[in-house]
Amino acid sequence: MPSDTTDTDCLPVAAPLFDNLFLSVGAMKAGTTWLYSVLRHHPGIHFTPEKEIHYFYARYENPKVLNERWRLNTAKLYGGFDPATVDAALVARNLRWLSSYVAGPVDDLWFRTLFQDRRRETWVADFSNLNALLSEASWRRVMAATERLRVLYTLRNPRDQVWSHVRFHLIMTGNRHKLETWSADELASFALSNAIWPHSDYAAAIRRMRAVLPSASLHVGFHHIMRDAPLAFVRQTEAFLDLPPHDYPPALLDRQVNVTPEHPMPAGMLEGIAPAVNRLVTELGDLGIDVPESWSVR
């Protein structure tokens, strides 16, 4: 993606922004919202009220993300509360955070200020799928922003992930009718467009991250483990962060969040995306990522 930064922006920062920074970078529609809903209860991780800040992507790739209109549209989601049930201290904390979030300029100091309510938590965290699109140069900048960095990248069967993302995108942009009116070829073409496929190109994202991040800083997880053994996935993540296991309520682990409305993939669309999916599976194998055989389209 084009960058609006200058060469100066790629120089190392003078001092790290954080001691310990935890980034979950997607993939899109691969369970990161569920993971956030669980890990936000861990006493060792500090989240802001907004799950996806997208700071590094906005700072180094596309400044239109997090522009004033973007921030105001996000802030309006947090402005309402029920005075009969809400805690006054929580309202005050959220309003203080909203004031910092809406204010500019969006720079390193702005980002650090969003975590001003951090107490004893080991990690500050941002779950942004856009960060998976960062260039190598941008990842170097992220590395310079923290003393210790951990990046989690969760992969999902690409045919399921692509189709879920297509549905989600069309619904969220007011184009749900296209799920019915577009042909299988049109849907496949859209799935492979720049609006969707870069979020599915796991191999390209992993190559960019591995070019910069030490092996201890990057963990690749799998959506099917999250789905079939949610506590095991959470324990893997806690171990990756060197955090002690936390006791989560079973109902929290078992619930579904941010589920895209079901709609069957139309006949013929899978054939249209099969070459790209199979190429991706091959590239992941070349990177040493052992994916299930079911990911290949035969």
SS3 assignment, position 274: helix
Give residue 89's pLDDT.
83
User: With contact defined as beta carbons under 8 Å apart, do 56 and 141 qualify?
Assistant: yes
Instruction: Give the pLDDT means over successive 10-residue stretches in the chain (298 positions).
Output: 43 72 95 95 96 96 95 84 80 88 93 94 97 97 95 97 96 95 97 97 98 97 96 98 97 82 90 97 97 94
| C-alpha span between 136 and 84 (Å, rounded) | 49
- Compute φ and ψ for 24, nearest 5 degrees: -100, 125
- The domain total for the chain is 1
Note whether residue 62 is domain-resident: yes
| Structural domain harbouring 218 | 7-66+106-295
| C-alpha span between 167 and 296 (Å, rounded) | 21
Give residue 14's pLDDT.
57
| C-alpha span between 160 and 269 (Å, rounded) | 12
Note whether residue 81 is domain-resident: no
Note whether residue 187 is domain-resident: yes
Closest CA to 65 of 128, 116, 23: 128
- The residue assigned the tokens 């992969």 is 155
CATH of the domain at 172: 3.40.50.300
Helix residue ranges per DSSP H, the chain: 32-39, 55-60, 68-75, 88-102, 108-113, 136-144, 158-172, 178-181, 184-191, 202-210, 223-228, 230-240, 250-254, 269-286
Note whether residue 99 is domain-resident: no
| C-alpha span between 135 and 132 (Å, rounded) | 9
Note whether residue 98 is domain-resident: no
Give residue 80's pLDDT.
72
Give residue 27's pLDDT.
95
Give residue 5's pLDDT.
42
Note whether residue 113 is domain-resident: yes
Note whether residue 151 is domain-resident: yes
For 248, other C-beta atoms within 10 Å of its C-beta total 15
Note whether residue 75 is domain-resident: no
